[in-house]
Structure 1
């Protein structure tokens, strides 16, 4: 379970060895909720909430990370226990891999999965929209060609391919989001991606959802013993969590699918957003709508993955462990 605290004046502390959440109410008597620590995986807090040092201590004792976010959902920082998720050998190998042909292999894998997810999404749209078949077939063919071009790239250093990969990825993304807008109900259609600020409901939901996903991916990497800052395609000069930006790519579809479902079902309305200069932002009701839907998609719904039924969140964590294990399968000379 992930706990999101975004109501103004909310207070998290400890009572009877459990987390107690106090939420202010209009009648001056705050509502209270008690949750056992073992049921919580992370606590996400906006700038409107506060917590006690006892709550921080209980979280650290139970390996619960506390994440502080901007209003758009992007993480500002986190409180995390001091123990590494695994051995330092993994991080050493990650650094070595970033300078070798392994960076090419994994980058092509992750971007390829992202583009393939986009293709499968559009193909699924076509099943239920025969009247749009010509338009969708054109997009599918063009994205498939981009996917093929990505697979055919060859080099022993990622820097030799980085610009080409970004170009292929960017073109595929533009075609993909054009397609999503085309099939959405008219009130949710948009003109391209917009971020800070978002200019429409679809993009503001997408941006906030990606902010949540960044935190989840960072935690998966840390639990697997990986370094969020040592990236392959995204390099050190970004001074950001480069591996988070690399590893997140195949999982963006989780947020995109959730937001598409909400808009297709017309569950999003003007009451979920507030106007700001040159755009809009999600308000409390909008965040609750998205968080509930995304948690259900990732934590409740199950998929058949690698031979067993599991949640998408568990599958993402399993992939992080698999990546770490792949790194340490070989030593620096590339031998077993």
Structure 2
């Protein structure tokens, strides 16, 4: 997936001769053909012309907006959802009937992938307690989470001072997680929407007005790989510049590039001998998940092999 990242405040995205034109202070910075872009990620306060939005939609390009606290506040998607009515009717029925098997499989896959992530570092000579996630805590998500994040705290460089997962913390790694998950959420939202599912009705997270519960549910399986991308980057020397609890502009741009590139990496999956990128895996599983719900079949989640 090719991503155009716009992180410079005051930029202006417009169109000339059916080509995206990016400007700053009335000076042209770049010209980008829509054939070279799959998504546009906007992380700063900029202007976007209606012509640019129209060109993006006509080429199947989604536009994602993140605020200064790295939370997604909007996404523009082409209207290309499939089998929407049939899929959503079954989704509503499954939730009303409390068919817990879909949410349970997502959580099991998440814990499995967390264990695989820890096992990767164990093979690199770092002692981790990955086996307990697959034995003692496989069906105990809160305890599994404490074990997992406690292990990551030992894997990360000490100067990061990571004490565990806390969405409100302003340490570098928690801020990086918040930002990176926001990018993941928008990828997941796109593919769930295309698969015909209602992104606001989940099986795990509570329904709240404006809360994309199914996006948060489905993302759980893929978060451990995002965690891996970040841990690897921090162990290789990547650091964020943080001011007053916010990631500075240059760091946000660099972090976005790391995550976007990482989601293009090929991964292997249990019972699937054809490696695919993380983005392709998300798309494939969104279709598989929708089909399983629609046809009242069991769903097997995304399970990494590393």
Say yes or no: TM over 0.5. Answer: yes
Alignment correspondent of 1:232: 203
Separation in 2, partners of 1:285, 1:237: 34
Alignment correspondent of 2:34: 37
Separation in 2, partners of 1:253, 1:120: 9
Instruction: Give yes or no for the alignment of 1:171 onto 2:117.
Output: no
- 1:95-150 per-residue CA deviation (whole Å, 9 max, x = no partner) reads 1111235x311111111111011111112211222xx54xx24x632663110xx2
63-72 vs 218-227, greater mean Cα deviation:
63-72
- 1:267-314 per-residue CA deviation (whole Å, 9 max, x = no partner) reads 21xxx32321xxx22112211221111111112x22345342321101
Aligned residues: 294
Rate the CA distance shift 1:274–1:189 in 2: closer, same or farther, 3 A: closer
Rate the CA distance shift 1:127–1:47 in 2: closer, same or farther, 3 A: closer
Rate the CA distance shift 1:43–1:108 in 2: closer, same or farther, 3 A: same
Alignment correspondent of 2:284: 318
Q: What does 1:203-282 correspond to in 2, within 5 Å? A: 203-237=174-208, 239-268=210-239, 272-276=240-244, 280-282=245-247
| Aligned partners of 1:72 and 1:211 also within 8 Å | no
Alignment correspondent of 2:261: 296
Alpha-carbon offset, residue 47 of structure 1: 4.1
SS class of match (2:276): strand
Alignment correspondent of 1:14: 15
Q: TM-score, normalised by structure 1?
A: 0.81
Q: TM-score, normalised by structure 2?
A: 0.89
Larger Rg: 1
Alignment correspondent of 1:164: none
Rate the CA distance shift 1:17–1:239 in 2: closer, same or farther, 3 A: closer
Alignment correspondent of 2:301: none
Separation in 1, partners of 2:87, 2:211: 20
Alignment correspondent of 2:5: 4
Alignment correspondent of 1:123: 119
| Aligned partners of 2:117 and 2:225 also within 8 Å | no
Separation in 2, partners of 1:43, 1:122: 33
Alignment correspondent of 2:109: 113
Separation in 2, partners of 1:173, 1:59: 39
| Aligned partners of 1:10 and 1:21 also within 8 Å | yes
Gaps (5+ residues) in structure 1?
A: 151-167, 332-336
Separation in 2, partners of 1:126, 1:304: 19
Alpha-carbon offset, residue 200 of structure 1: 1.1
Of residues 244, 249, 267, the one that matches 1:284 is: 249
Separation in 1, partners of 2:133, 2:284: 32
Gaps (5+ residues) in structure 2?
A: 298-306
Instruction: Give yes or no for the alignment of 1:59 onto 2:56.
Output: yes
SS class of match (2:275): strand
Rate the CA distance shift 1:274–1:185 in 2: closer, same or farther, 3 A: closer
52-61 vs 29-38, greater mean Cα deviation:
29-38
Of residues 130, 136, 140, the one that matches 1:145 is: 136
The alignment yields a C-alpha RMSD, in angstroms, of 2.1
Alpha-carbon offset, residue 172 of structure 1: 1.2
Separation in 1, partners of 2:148, 2:142: 10
Separation in 1, partners of 2:166, 2:187: 22
Separation in 1, partners of 2:206, 2:242: 36
Separation in 2, partners of 1:327, 1:183: 38
| Aligned partners of 1:143 and 1:175 also within 8 Å | no
Rate the CA distance shift 1:140–1:199 in 2: closer, same or farther, 3 A: farther
SS class of match (1:250): coil
| Aligned partners of 2:91 and 2:197 also within 8 Å | yes
Alignment correspondent of 2:300: none
Q: Give the number of the structure whose residues are more often helix, by fraction.
A: 1
